[in-house]
Each structure stands twice: as C-alpha cells, then as structure tokens.
Structure 1
Amino acid sequence: MFTRVVRLKKRSAALALAAGLAAGGLAGPASAEEVLRAVTAFPAPVEFSKSFLRFVDKVNDLGEGVVRVDYMGGPEVIPPAQQAQAIRRGVVDMQYGPGTYYLGQVPEVDAWVGSTVTAMEARENGGLEIMREVYRNKLGAYLLAHIDTGITFHVYLTEEPLRNEDGSVDLSGVKLRSQPIYREFFDALGATSVSVPVPEVYTALERGVVDGIGWPLVAIQDLSWDEFLTHRIDPPFFQTDLVVIMNEDRWGSLSDEARKILTAAAVAYEQESYDYYQQNIADTDRAVREAGMQVVEITGPAAERYLDMAFETAWERLRNSGSPHYDALRTTYYDR
C-alpha cells in the first residue's frame, strides 16, 4: 500500500510538472531522451551517495522520456580529486560531492562550510546566484543544487579528551583525520591534522594512525568507524558543502524542458533532503548513544568561543583568498 501511495505521489508530481511545462509553452513533440552521466565523490555504501541516488530517482521519475541521469559510480570510476576536472572537460556530465574537494580552485566554497543558512534560504536571498557565477567562471560548471544542508560536523575521538578549566577541550597532540576545511580549526585546538582518504579511515583508526576524526553525525555508522570512536564533542560546527554540478556546455545543450525538469527536481530535493536529514540526525544520535558513545558537552561561553573559532577559520580562509565575493557571500550565508 505504501509503495502504491509513493508511486501515485510521484506520478502526480510528474503530471503537475508536465502541465506546468505545457502551460509555459515548453511541451512539444516527443524527442530523444537526454542521458546525463553522473559520478559521486563517495563510495556507494556511504549515506551521502544514497542521498544522491534519491535525487537521481527524482529526476528520472519527473523526466521520463525527456532527461535521465545514469549513475556511473563513485571513486572507483574517477578519483574524487579528479572529478571536478572531469566535469570541466566533459568526461562526465554531472557530479555530486563536497565543494571543498576543489577548494584550491574555488575558495568561495568556504561560504558553504561557514554557512548558517539552508539552501532554500540561499536561493531566496541571492547567495546561490553568486555561487553559480563563481562556478561558471572558475570551473566551467553549472551549479544545479546545494543538497543535504542542515548537516553539521563533530570531532570524534577514540578516548575521552582532556578538559580545560573553562570547560573547553584540550586536544594538544591528538592526531585527527582531517581535510582542508578542518585543518585551521584543528590546529587552533592544538590537534595534529593527518590526511587519510575516506576508504582508509577504518584501518587508520584500527592501527592508531589517528586518534579521531572530523565528520558529520550522519553516516558515522556507515563504514563502521564507530567501532573505535568512543567520544563525540558537542556542539556541532560547520555545514555540509554537498553540491550537484554539471558541465556548463552540457547544461546549455539541453532542451528548455529538460533544464526546467532538472531545476524543479533540484528545488524540491533541497527541501526534501534537508527534512530527511533532520530526522536522520536525531535517529543516528539516539543510536550511537545507545551503542555507548559518550558525548562531551562544551557549554556556555566556552561553547561560543569554540563555535566562533570554527566558523571564523572558514571565513578567514575565504577573506585571505582575495575573493571579490567575500562580503556578498558573508551577508547571504552567515548570520551568527
């Protein structure tokens, strides 16, 4: 019964969209279905890849006969560090993953890292349009969607951290699996950043190569890292920078109808994924606590200093990059 209801809802959405296209004069004679080749930065078992596949299903349902996304795979197809260039060169048509994987080319993605607003709000206040201009000029890509927003990050440890007199944590000498968005923050906390690819994190934890990681609450159980992680530091910080991008020329070559379908799917899924992950975060929080993970709470003024330290590292990086968009992005994406 549930499956039938879901199908009926999808069918109704598709019909409503088709009616809107017809009303706008975009419907016309049947033509060959456009096929878009897509890759993800994460392996298939990771929750974020599953989210992208839900987006793909949405596009394919709404775009039946007009446009279809074919998922090619993740890092096993194209290494994550090379996927942005694959988009630029047109090797693939669509890519999903963290914008910070190409932070050196597009420093403006730090606006998402340091963001305190949702994708829906950024569509309304002009932030998304600024980022689209950046992507077009610097990556030769069309920014289709910023999905899975509202997901924040934590520091996870294999042992209980030391505490300072003010209630903050002392991570001096602690080895943390890091990536560019965390590095300055972890340095400020006194930790040592260690670069470890996602597929190797389990082994790094198992062998003591790292004493902890930075990661969202979402997906912390997907790759069994929670077998070693015993403590989580609260409050959470930052926000996910997970975006769907397309080769600019490929986007431009699509029919108006196909572009409208993709846009409709993107707008709808930004809200749907946000709602989904708010529930997922609550469920995962309960699950890891029940499994024995201890939460180290930083509260009061110490918590405010902790968060200011985190967010300002992202905005400081963007300011130091010399981006002409710094002021506009800070206005549209940050309201702490």
Structure 2
Amino acid sequence: MRIPMKSTVLAIAAGVALSGPVSAEEVLRAVTAFPAPVEFAKSFLRFVDKVNAMGEGVVRIQYMGGPEVIPPPQQAQAVRRGVVDMQYGPGTYYLGDVPEVDAWVGSTVTAMEARENGGLEAMREVYKEKLGAYLLGHVDTGITFHIYLTEEPKMTADGGVDLTGVKLRSQPIYREFFDSLGATSVSVPVPEVYTALERGVVDGIGWPLVGIQDLSWDKFLKVRIDPPFFQTDLVIILNEEKWEGLSDEAKAILTKAAAEYEQESYDYYQANIVETDKAVRDAGMEVVTLEGAAAQAWLDSAFETAWARLKASGSPQYDALRAAYYNR
C-alpha cells in the first residue's frame, strides 16, 4: 500500500484544523508502525496519555494513527521531512538508513542500563546524523523473540531443530538467522499475516511472545521454540528541527516521561510475558525447549547475525555500541 505524501500532508493538516482552537500547548503529531489492535500500538498510547497528563498546558501529543495514515516503511522519512513530528515503531524498518539499529536487535541490556552506560547517547548521535531525527527513548525493552510454527518441527541428532524448507514470515532482523537455519524467509505485512497463515503461505513466524494473541495468529500457530532471542527495537523519534524548536520546559517533560516510561514499560511487559506464556500454554500451544549445547548454538547463531550485519555495514560506532549493548 502506498499513500501519496501530498495526500497524507493534506489529511494531517485537515486533522489539525478540525482538532479545535489553537492553544498555548505545543502539539506533536504522532504516528505508529502498528495497527491499533496490536499491543505495541497500545503501549505507545499509554505513553501519549502519560505525556499529555504531565505536559498539560505545555506540550501535547496528538495521535494521528498507524499504518492507515502512513505506511510503516515511509514513516521515518515522514518524520525527517516534517510531515509528522513523532513516530513510534521498530528501528529496523529503516535499517538501510541506520544500520546501527542492529545494536538494539542484538542487545542484552535494558534501556535503563543503556541510558547509564552511554549507549543511548551514542545512538542519538547516529539518529541525528543519518535520519535527521531526535531519539527520545528506547521503550518496551526486555521483550524477546521466538519462532512459532503451525506444525511440530523436525529435530536434529544433536537436539536442535531442522527448519530446512520451512516458510517463515520474516523481516530484516530475522532474515540471516532464518537463512542459517535453512528456513525460507517470506515477507508479509503484519495486517496480512493471519491470511498468510490461514492459506499456508507461511508455516510460521518470528514474533515476540507479547501480542501473539492480539490478531488471533495463535489460532494457527501450535508450536513455539525456546529459548527466545533478540530484543525489541521499539523507539520514539522526533523531527530534529521540531525537537530543537520546543521550549525547554516541553523538552524536560518529554525527556522525563520517556525515561520513566522505559522503566514502566519494561516492568509492564515482564508481567505481560508471564501472563501470555501461561495463556498460550493453557490454550494448547506446545513449547519445544532446546537445551545445553543446542540452546547455546541457537542463541549464538541468532545474536551474532545481528552484530555481524552491523559490522559489515562499516559503522564507526560498532565497537562502542557492542560494548554498551552486548554482554553475553
């Protein structure tokens, strides 16, 4: 789906015009990469509520919508060009422009730790240089990924899984890992995953435990492979000029809200993971748990694909980011 940028600008302008009288508050127009029913879109709306409560009379986020407003692959450029002021979603959607995003994919630390060890600040410099954006925060961390399948996988003699020829719904962060497992990566937008599973276009997906039931994908997914790997790369960014033009008071409110929400969202999703794990097991999902050397090889293969991809990009930030974000 492609939405002409000119039409998008007009639609957003119309939305602003209809939103009511101009107030003293500084308004930030925001979009998300996820449809409203997805848990991660709900998380961003909790952040919006937090900012709007803290910033009453000073700064307010106006939520414009998700993929129906601007297709996710175009959202970062929409922020760069000032079509919208703020965006929330996976950094890997613009991995080609910002290869350093892989530091989050391969991260083993929380956002709170990265604020303390210089990781976040290093990423802010990258975003300013390569995307013309201000990185407000890395939220919803501590969420890891799994491979889910419609059928039980074949096992190897050494206790691993054989995914040769298995069609997996993929995205850039998974591709090399899935290739290393012999699987076939298939690109399917999130709104079309249900139909792809229903029709057998894919035999499984890569996805966090969080949100797996939101769009009823668990109706088809019968098996989960453990241990989990990677970490979410969900970030909130702003147009750099918009950020610089905000009042000091507005910046302070947004900064405080983002730092607090990094911890709040981490805590929320740790509890959510436990609840969801129980729910899917109770609903009949089988969990294939790799152990010992097989589990170690699984994790090493996953994490090293992210760091190898970042190193191959030639990023001068590779060493600093690996030191800040990876401690396996």
Range into which the TM-score falls when normalised by the shorter chain: over 0.9
Residue 164, structure 1, aligned to residue 164, structure 2: no
Structure 2: gaps of 5 or more residues = 1-22
Length, aligned pairs only: 306
Q: Structure 1: how far apart are the matches of 2:47 and 2:306? A: 28
Partner SS state of residue 154, structure 1 = strand
Partner SS state of residue 51, structure 1 = helix
Residue 73, structure 1, aligned to residue 88, structure 2: no
* Counterpart position of 2:298: 306
Query: Of the candidates 208, 212, 219, which is equivalent to residue 220 of structure 1?
Result: 212
Residue 153, structure 1, aligned to residue 145, structure 2: yes
Task: Kindly provide the CA deviation profile for residues 284-311 of structure 1, in whole angstroms up to 9, marking residues without a partner as x.
Answer: 0000000000000100011001000000
Q: Structure 1: how far apart are the matches of 2:228 and 2:137? A: 24
Query: Of the candidates 29, 36, 58, which is equivalent to residue 44 of structure 1?
Result: 36
Task: Kindly provide the CA deviation profile for residues 153-184 of structure 1, in whole angstroms up to 9, marking residues without a partner as x.
Answer: 00000000000011100000000000000000
Q: Structure 1: how far apart are the matches of 2:311 and 2:194? A: 35
Any runs of at least 4 consecutive aligned residues in structure 1 with deviations exceeding 3 A, and if so which?
none
AA in 2 matched with 1:177: R
Shift of 1:32: 1.3
AA in 2 matched with 1:147: V
Q: Structure 2: how far apart are the matches of 1:309 and 1:248? A: 36
* Counterpart position of 1:294: 286
* Counterpart position of 1:332: 324
* Counterpart position of 2:19: none
AA in 2 matched with 1:218: V
Residue 104, structure 1, aligned to residue 96, structure 2: yes
Task: Kindly provide the CA deviation profile for residues 57-101 of structure 1, in whole angstroms up to 9, marking residues without a partner as x.
Answer: 000000000000000000000000000000000000000000000
Task: Kindly provide the CA deviation profile for residues 222-269 of structure 1, in whole angstroms up to 9, marking residues without a partner as x.
Answer: 000000000000000000000000000000000000000000000000
Structure 1: gaps of 5 or more residues = 1-30
AA in 2 matched with 1:252: E
Partner SS state of residue 60, structure 2 = strand
Query: Of the candidates 67, 75, 87, which is equivalent to residue 83 of structure 1?
Result: 75
Residue 231, structure 1, aligned to residue 223, structure 2: yes
Query: Of the candidates 52, 56, 59, which is equivalent to residue 64 of structure 1?
Result: 56
Query: Of the candidates 239, 242, 245, which is equivalent to residue 250 of structure 1?
Result: 242
Task: Kindly provide the CA deviation profile for residues 204-232 of structure 1, in whole angstroms up to 9, marking residues without a partner as x.
Answer: 00000000000000000000000000000
* Counterpart position of 1:122: 114
Q: Structure 1: how far apart are the matches of 2:163 and 2:295? A: 15
Q: Structure 2: how far apart are the matches of 1:294 and 1:33? A: 51
